[in-house]
């Protein structure tokens, strides 16, 4: 069931992950199938994590740092590597990934929170990322969205994504957010397992 089916078709055609619906000045989450560029529409689920005071004490990790605007190209390469071959991949190219990351950083999914978004920086490439935005949902005010979580294939199952999401949760809690929301493709088993492990729970439509 949709939370708010309200966007023009062109903005529904999100390539990696149809998780956010946008209309001018407004971003909403939807768990309803939307039009995809290729292939059948797929189910989505909304999940939410209650942020607790304990999140604010997330441990430091040496290679972990916040995102900066110049990370755009490296984030795009990471995105392509991480998503290629998954249920959310529809044949996108590096150029597509560059546009997706660029629009994420510039606010297409809500104001990008650089200080709540983290990467594992391997020196020459980024190994993992947790990208967070803040969107205004009207009556509910500012809400935090986990827009992308991704780990390069050769670094997966090393705990990077879990660590970075915990860092994002801690940073968000420190800024006063009480919930972190996301939308996941129903068939994305690794992501769903990760989120369950982190304590995300299904939420009903608004
Ligand atoms: C989902 C993804 C981000 C996980 O990244 P990761 O760094 O490998 O995750 P972690 O190592 O932190 O895993 C933490 C826990 O999540 C679960 N998990 C992660 N990957 C899993 C997989 N492939 N299968 C089953 N469970 C998995 C496990 O419970 C894991 O703990 P464990 O290794 O001790 O069993 C990564 O597979 C990815 O980039 N996928 C493509 C992009 C994507 O789908 N992003 C999410 C969109 S909603």
State pLDDT tens for residues 52-67: 876 665 666 778 999 9
Find out whether the beta carbon of 191 lies less than 6 Å from any atom of ligand 1: yes
Domain boundaries, the chain: 9-202
For the entire predicted model, the pTM comes to: 0.87
Q: Is the distance from CB of 144 to CB of 132 less than 8 angstroms? A: yes
Cβ atoms 42, 196 nearer than 8 A: no
DSSP code of residue 187: T
Mutating to test ligand 1, I would choose from 17, 128, 151, 155 the residue with most ligand atoms within 8 A of its C-beta, which is: 151
Q: What is the largest CA-CA distance in the chain?
A: 43
**Ligand 1 atom nearest residue 128's Cα:** 7
Which pair of tokens denotes residue 131? 């990208």
Q: What average pLDDT does this structure show over 164-176? A: 94
In this predicted structure, what is the pLDDT of residue 27?
53
Q: Which residue would you say has higher pLDDT here, 76 or 206?
A: 76
Pocket lining: 190 vs ligand 1, CB cutoff 6 Å = yes
Q: Give the 3-state DSSP-derived string for 61-80, with helices as H, strands as E and coil as C.
A: CCCEEECCHHHHHHHHHHHH
Helices (H) and strands (E) in the chain, counts: 5, 10
Per-residue tokens: 142: 């500012």
HSE-up of residue 68 (Cα within 13 Å, Cβ side) = 4
Which protein residue's CA is at the shortest distance from atom 32 of ligand 1?
157
CATH of 9-202, one of 3.40.630.30, 3.40.1280.10, 3.40.50.12140, 3.30.365.10: 3.40.630.30
Rounded-to-integer distance, Cα 122 and Cα 85, Å: 23
pLDDT in tens, 15-30: 454 445 444 445 555 5
196 pLDDT more than 90: yes
Of 56-60, 64-68, 90-94, 112-116, the poorest mean pLDDT is in 56-60
Joined together, the tokens standing for residue 100 give 């997706």
Tell which atom from ligand 1 comes closest to the C-alpha of 194: 16
Pick from 191, 197, 133, 123: nearest CA to 166 = 197
Averaged pLDDT score across all residues of the chain: 80
- Of the pLDDT bands very low, low, confident and very high (cuts 50, 70, 90), residue 158 is very high
43 contact partners, CB below 8 Å, separation of at least 6: 31, 33, 185, 186, 187
- Quick one: which H or E segment has residue 202? strand 201-202
Count of alpha carbons within 13 Å of 142, Cβ hemisphere only?
Answer: 12
């Amino acid at each position: 069931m949709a939370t708010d089916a309200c966007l023009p078709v062109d903005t529904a055609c999100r390539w990696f992950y149809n998780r956010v619906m946008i209309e001018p000045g407004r971003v909403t989450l939807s768990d309803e199938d939307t039009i995809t560029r290729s292939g059948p529409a797929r189910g989505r689920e909304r999940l939410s994590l209650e942020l607790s005071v304990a999140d604010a004490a997330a441990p430091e990790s040496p290679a972990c740092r916040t995102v900066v605007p110049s990370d755009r190209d490296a984030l795009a390469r990471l995105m392509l590597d991480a998503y290629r071959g998954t249920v959310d991949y529809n044949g996108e190219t590096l150029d597509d990934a560059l546009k997706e990351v660029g629009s994420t950083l510039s606010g297409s999914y809500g104001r990008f929170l650089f200080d709540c978004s983290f990467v594992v920086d391997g020196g020459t490439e980024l190994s993992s990322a947790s990208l967070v935005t803040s969107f205004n949902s009207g009556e509910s005010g500012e809400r935090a969205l986990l827009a992308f979580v991704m780990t390069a294939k050769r670094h997966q199952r090393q705990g990077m994504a879990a660590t970075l999401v915990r860092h994002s949760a801690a940073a968000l809690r420190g800024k006063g957010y009480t919930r972190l929301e996301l939308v996941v493709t129903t068939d994305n088993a690794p992501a769903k397992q990760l989120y369950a492990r982190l304590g995300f729970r299904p939420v009903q439509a608004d």
